[in-house]
Chains A and B, each alone.
Chain A
Amino acid sequence: DARVTQTPRHKVTEMGQEVTMRCQPILGHNTVFWYRQTMMQGLELLAYFRNRAPLDDSGMPKDRFSAEMPDATLATLKIQPSEPRDSAVYFCASGPFERGGSYNEQFFGPGTRLTVL
């Protein structure tokens, strides 16, 4: 049963600390997405990759957020320094690339609940 895995599932940290979230996409999927979800905003796309290359990270605050895919089995989202307003659930999703550019087939991980005090 292939699924996206994310670690850690929960993270509590203090303002100013570095936070790293990890995602293992489904084997064979070549697109990876990072989302943030809050009660107020719903799901927001932060960044996405195709074949490990970043295609769009316009949803990410560039001064503190960074996303990478060191290899095909690992995607990371880092926040440095973290702030209380970063408190949210961060989801990773992966999917197969469809010719024509439709990225709508996505499989979500369980999320990382981040609390910044």
Chain B
Amino acid sequence: KNQVEQSPQSLIILEGKNCTLQCNYTVSPFSNLRWYKQDTGRGPVSLTIMTFSENTKSNGRYTATLDADTKQSSLHITASQLSDSASYICVVSAKQTGANNLFFGTGTRLTVIP
């Protein structure tokens, strides 16, 4: 069964600290993996997308890694800021056409406190 699991469910960190969010998936055959940031009251916004051959991708202070062998991805946030407080959602796409091929994690709720 195709599934995406994220951990932790929620996280509180001090401003300026680093943190790492995890995403494990069982989606097969794998096409790509995207991390979204969702601010409260808004729609998700894409942060990074990685295909099978990519191990790491950065977007400013956000760095995503992918291990396609173990089917794990992580999102590392460096020097956190108050504006990083949001939910982070992992979405895995399967290689299949003509059908629903997107599988969503339930997200990690990050709170950055001063």
Contacts and interface: CB of A to CB of B under 8 A. Distances in A.
Most buried by A among B42, B45, B89, B96: B42
B100 A59 contact: yes
Nearest to B4: A42
Interface in B25-75: 31-32, 34, 41-46, 49
Contacts of A48: 100
A100 to B, nearest CB: 7
Given A102-B32, A104-B93, A43 B104 contact: yes
B106 interface: yes
- Dominant SS at the B interface? loop
A106 B49 CA distance: 11
Interface stretch (A11-19, A68-76, A78-86, A107-115): A107-115
A49 interface: no
A61 to B, nearest CB: 16
A10 to B, nearest CB: 10
Contact of A104 (B42, B43, B49): B49
Nearest to B100: A56
Given A42-B105, A42-B106, A110-B43, A56 B93 contact: no
Nearest to B42: A110
A65 interface: no
Contacts of A91: 43-44
B83 interface: no
Interface string A28-43: 0000000000000111
7 contacts: A42-B105, A43-B104, A44-B104, A91-B44, A102-B95, A103-B101, A106-B46
Given A56-B99, A110-B42, 12 more contacts: A41-B106, A45-B102, A48-B100, A55-B98, A59-B100, A101-B96, A103-B102, A104-B32, A108-B43, A108-B44, A110-B43, A111-B42
Interface of A: 4, 41-45, 48, 55-56, 58-59, 91, 93, 100-111
Interface of B: 31-32, 34, 41-46, 49, 89, 91, 93, 95-102, 104-107
